[in-house]
Amino acid sequence: MDSCVAAATAVAEGWEPAFLHFTYGQRTQERELKAFYDIADFYGVVRRLVIELPHLAEIGGSALTDVSCPVPEGRLNRDEIPVTYVPFRNANFLAAATSWAEVLGARRIYIGAVEEDGSGYPDCREVFLRAFDEVIALGTRPDSSIRIQAPLIHSTKAEIVLRGVELEAPLHLTWSCYRNSVRACGCCDSCLLRWRGFVQAGVPDPIPYETIPLGKEER
Amino acid sequence: MDSCVAAATAVAEGWEPAFLHFTYGQRTQERELKAFYDIADFYGVVRRLVIELPHLAEIGGSALTDVSCPVPEGRLNRDEIPVTYVPFRNANFLAAATSWAEVLGARRIYIGAVEEDGSGYPDCREVFLRAFDEVIALGTRPDSSIRIQAPLIHSTKAEIVLRGVELEAPLHLTWSCYRNSVRACGCCDSCLLRWRGFVQAGVPDPIPYETIPLGKEER
C-alpha cells in the first residue's frame, strides 16, 4: 500500500514512472508480484523491472524470509526492532534502483518508506535515506542527478490511506499481509498496521480478510 | 587480485574472514568464481557466500555485462568513465555484504576498491566508501558496528602486487582479464592495468597470457 501511494504521489507530481519490484524470498512474494503488475497496469506503466534478490532469504535472519522463524502475531508499539526486519533491506533495494535509474536517466526514486507507526526498521528512517542520497551523489556519474523521494516518511498509516483516497490510488489492488495470499490473515503486524490505518482514516479497507483484526492492537 | 590482497590484509590484521563473491553477468564470471573458491581454499575459509545479482546485467549499460557492447582494447589514463563501468555496482555489493555482515555479527567489510590507476569509477572512491559507512551506521541495528575497510584505496597496482608478495597472497590464483578464461587476453583495460603493475613492481605475473601486453599502454 505504501509503495502504491508513493507511486500515486510520483504520478501526481508529474513524473513519468518506471516501476521496480523486488522478490527476495518474502513469504507472500507471488501475491506481492501480482499486486505489482496490477498497479502497473492501472497506471499504464511500460517500463517495469522485477529484480530477484534471493540472497536476502539465503542470508536469513528475518521472519519475513526465513521459514524456520515464525511470523509473530501482531503486537504493535513495541520498542525493539521486530524479527520481520530484513537486515539492510532498503539499502539493497535502493542500490539496485539507483543502478536502474542511472541507465534510464531517471532523476527520482520514490520509495514508500515510513518512519512512523513504530515499524522500528533502521533503514526506514529519513536520516538513513538522506545519507543514501549522499552515497548516490558520490557513487554515480557526475551528470546524473538521482535523489530519493520518500513522500510518506512521516505519515501515519491513516494519513497514507487518506492520501491514497485523495489521489485515487488503487488501494484495492495492494497487498500487505505477511502470511496469506488469498485473504489477508488479519493477525500479522502488517495486517494490524494496515487495518488500524483504515479504521483511523474512517475508510473501509477494500481487500478481503480472514479474520477481522479489531481490537487486536490492544494486546 | 585486488580482492585477494584485501583478503590477505584482513587475515594479516587478525580478522577471521568470511568470503563473499558476486556473479552479476560479468563475461568471465565462471573464471572469477573459480578464483574465488581457489583463494577461499588457500585461506581455509569456511563461511563462503556466492550472491547472484543478475539484475546488474539485465539493467545493462556496461560493456562488462552487456554482450552487445564490445570491451574496448585498453587505452589507459583516459579521463572519462570507461564503458566497463557497471552503474553503482559497488553499492549493490556493499549493501548485500552489509546484510550478511549484520547476520554474521561481522564488524568489518574488506573491499579491494582502488581509487588510483585511473579506473575512473565513481563508486571506487574513498569519499564514496566513507559515505557508505554512514549509511551502514544509520541503516543497521544500533548494536552492530560494521565498517568498510579499503586497504588498497590509494595504492597503485604496483604497490598492490608488492603488498600481495609481502603478505604471501596467492596471486597465482587470481584473475583479472575481462575477456578470456584460460589465458588472459593481454589486451583489455584490466589486463593492461595488471600487467603494468607487475612490470613496475619488478615481479613476474604468475598467470598465463595470450599476448604479452608490453608497450600497449602507450597507445
Q: Residue B163 and residue B78: Cα distance in Å, rounded?
A: 26
pLDDT at A181 over 60: yes
Q: Do A92 and B81 touch (CB under 8 A)?
A: no
Cβ neighbourhood burial of A134 (10 Å; 0-12, 13-18, 19+): middle
Residue B217 pLDDT class (50, 70, 90 cuts): very low
Backbone angles phi, psi at B151, to 5 degrees: -65, -15
pLDDT reported for residue B29: 84
pLDDT digits 0-9 by tens, B38-52: 999 999 999 999 998
Where are the domains positioned within chain A?
Answer: 2-218
Q: Do A99 and B88 touch (CB under 8 A)?
A: yes
pLDDT reported for residue A64: 56
3-state DSSP call for residue B188? strand
Q: Which residue has the cell 520509495?
A: A111
Chain A residues at the B interface, defined by Cβ less than 8 Å, are 49, 51-56, 58-61, 81, 85-92, 94-96, 98-100, 102-103, 122-123, 125, 127-128, 131-132, 134-136, 138-142
Please tell me the distance in Å from A132's CA to the nearest CA on chain B: 6
Query: How many distinct helices (H) and strands (E) make up chain A?
Result: 7, 4
pLDDT reported for residue B24: 85
- Domain B2-176 in CATH 3.30.365.10? The answer is no
Q: What is the mean pLDDT of residues A18-30?
A: 88
B168: cell is 604471501
DSSP B27: T
pLDDT at B28 over 80: yes
Residue A68 pLDDT class (50, 70, 90 cuts): low
Query: Cα angle at B5 between B107 and B111, to 5 degrees?
Result: 40
Q: Do B87 and A98 touch (CB under 8 A)?
A: yes
What number is the ipTM of this complex? Answer: 0.85
DSSP per residue over A120-175, as a string? --GGGSHHHHHHHHHHHHHHS-TT---EEE-TTTT--HHHHHHHHHHTT--GGG--
Number of cross-chain residue pairs from A and B with Cβ atoms under 8 Å apart? 141
Fold of A2-218: Rossmann fold (3.40.50)
Instruction: Mutation target for B interface from A88, A143, A146: give the one with most B CBs within 10 A.
Output: A88
Q: Where are the alpha helices (DSSP H) in chain B?
A: 2-12, 29-42, 55-59, 89-104, 126-139, 157-166, 189-201
pLDDT at B101 over 90: yes
pLDDT reported for residue A77: 47
pLDDT reported for residue A14: 97
Q: Residue B46 and residue B218: Cα distance in Å, rounded?
A: 43
Closest residue by Cα to residue A76 from A163, A161, A156: A156
Write out chain B residues lying below 8 Å of A139, CB-based. 88, 90-91, 122-123, 128, 131-132
Q: Do B122 and A140 touch (CB under 8 A)?
A: yes
Q: Are strands A108-110 and A48-52 parallel, antiparallel or unpaired?
A: unpaired
Please tell me the distance in Å from B204's CA to the nearest CA on chain A: 34
pTM: 0.87
pLDDT digits 0-9 by tens, B50-75: 998 888 877 766 555 655 555 555 54
| Dihedral sign of CA atoms B58, B61, B63, B66 in order | positive
Q: Do B95 and A94 touch (CB under 8 A)?
A: yes
